[in-house]
Amino acid sequence: MIKPVSSISNNFVKLIKKAAESKTFEKHFNKCIDNPTYATRVLILTNVSKDTFAYALRVKNGLTNKEMPEEKKKYVVAMDAAMGGVTTVAQIATGWVLSSPKVLEKATKKLFGHLGENSKRFKQARAGFVAVSTLVFSMLLAKRVVVPLLAGPMADKIKISIDKSNPTKLKNNSTEKYSGMIPTFSHANYNNDLFKAFVNNKSKN
């Protein structure tokens, strides 16, 4: 291997080793091994934090995107914001329920109680139940079906609030075509000569 590349990889390995052997990680991993509920909940929080961060970035990027049509951009941004919020809540809620020892105990006792609680098959079936239910309920049903369903109407409302908070931009777009053709009416230009001339011409026609 070329010298600089090998020194970089050596330093990288040293860094990973230092992190793996650090006291905070050791404590954290021991707690994860002793307490499966804690481990599952940490996993949920890491997933949620990643998703929330990604949706926040999407909203920020969407607002500054110049290639998207203005109307579409508003809905895309609103949808991303709504999806971010609902995903966070839905993932935490389903994850917390599925990882709850009480819920797990009830469900697994009913399903696999006939195997005996200390048998190896019971533990295997229980692990399978946790894995499949997390995949089906949390990853597919909650995150991919329920979240977009709930986020749709929320995005509608967010879009309306964006429209309300930024009405000038919309007005400018709609009056752009006619600017210069029709003088706009306001108390300030009521006595304006140009406005008077426009009104007189209209009345003559």
In the complex, the smallest distance separating the C-beta of residue 111 from other proteins, rounded to whole angstroms, is 6
39 contact partners, CB below 8 Å, separation of at least 6: 31, 32, 33
- Choice between 17 and 196, CB closer to other proteins: 17
Closest approach, Cβ 88 to other proteins, in A, equals 15
Phi, psi of 157 (to 5 degrees): -70, -40
- What distance in Å separates the CA atoms of residue 139 and residue 44, rounded to the nearest whole number? 11
Instruction: Work out how close the CB of 2 gets to other proteins at its nearest, in angstroms, rounded to a whole number.
Output: 19
Our CB check for other proteins shows the closer of 39 and 97 to be 39
Which residue, 4 or 167, is less far from other proteins as judged by CB?
A: 167
Cβ neighbours around 85 below 10 Å, total: 17
Work out the burial of residue 135: count CB atoms within 10 Å of its CB; fewer than 13 is exposed, 13-18 middle, 19 or more buried.
exposed
Positions in the binding site for other proteins (CB under 8 A): 13, 16-17, 19-21, 25-26, 28-29, 32-33, 39, 43, 46, 49-50, 53-54, 57-58, 61-62, 65, 67-72, 74-76, 79, 110-112, 114-115, 121, 124-129, 131-132, 135, 139-140, 143-145, 148-150, 152-153, 155-156, 159-160, 163, 170
Q: Which residues contact 88 (CB under 8 A, 6 or more apart)?
A: 48, 51, 52
Of 135 and 197, nearer to other proteins (C-beta) is 135
| 165-178 b/e (C-beta count within 10 Å ≥ 16 → b) | eeeeeeeeeeeeee
Instruction: Name which of 18 and 196 has its Cβ closer to other proteins.
Output: 18
